[in-house]
Amino acid sequence: DIQMTQSPSSLSASVGDRVTMICRASQSIRTYLNWYQQISGKAPKLLIYGASTLQSGVPSRFTGSGSGTDFALTISSLQPEDFAIYYCQQSYSTPWTFGQGTKVEI
Amino acid sequence: QVQLQESGPGLVKPSETLSLTCTVSGGSVNTYYWSWIRQAAGKGLEWIGRIHSGGSTNYNPSLKSRVTMSVDTSNNQFSVKLTSVTAADTAMYYCAGDRTNDGWFEPWGQGTPVTVSS
């Protein structure tokens, strides 16, 4: 299985901050990397697929980058509704696997 | 737009079989790949497996010996069965769609909690 490792596990930030979180794969996954946002008690929501393609309806302050084994999700100006847990997921090979999450908190 | 709704018993006894159904509305079960994903309380996400309407399946090897997925095209539903459950199977279970077979999940159901306890 491909292992996905996210860092940091949590971060504290303020509204308006620029925030970046990292996801690393245990082997190259090209750009088969997807990002989800999970707000407490809710189902995950797809933000970015294919490492950098913004899902329809997702605000442009979210940006994904990277290829191979190293990826990043950046929120350019943190909004109150962005406080959540963010998960990366590889779709290069089954079993699809997720990172352990990065919690963005105040 | 396609919406998903999970259903099934919230409580299952150890060693018994967990059975969940996901109802598809606003679209056809024939057009997507369908996955089940679970999340234990306070933990991360675990992909259980997926099925296509044509019947082809991929299961997570960690669960493969206990999992069976099926599609019911007449009722626009798909289902998962997990046998010989233990407390480790207690989790929120989500169904999700993969429209393009690229392995990313959208939409998701709201999730249904399952507790394994006697």
Question: What sign results for the dihedral spanned by CA atoms B82, B32, B108, B21?
Answer: negative
pLDDT at B53: 86
User: Across the interface, which of B94, B104, B110 has its CB nearest the CB of A34?
Assistant: B104
Phi (first) and psi of residue A45, to 5 degrees:
-125, 130
* Res. A2: pLDDT tops 90: yes
Residue B66: exposure state from Cβ atoms within 10 A (0-12, 13-18, ≥19): middle
Task: Tell me the average pLDDT across A54-75.
Answer: 98
Q: Which residues 54-113 on chain B approach chain A with CB closer than 8 angstroms?
A: 58, 60-62, 94, 102-106, 108-111
Q: What is the pLDDT of residues A40-49, one digit of tens each?
A: 889 999 999 9
Q: Looking at the complex, does the CB of residue B28 fall below 8 Å from at least one CB of chain A? A: no
Phi, psi of A22 (to 5 degrees): -115, 145
The pLDDT value given to residue B28: 92
Q: Give me the pLDDT at residue A50, please.
A: 96
* Helices and strands: H and E segment counts in chain B: 0, 10
- Count of helices and strands (H, E) across chain A: 0, 11
Angle at B12 between CA B6 and CA B13, to 5 degrees: 170
Tens digit of each residue's pLDDT (9 = 90 or more) over B48-102: 999 998 889 999 999 999 999 999 999 999 999 999 999 999 999 999 999 888 8
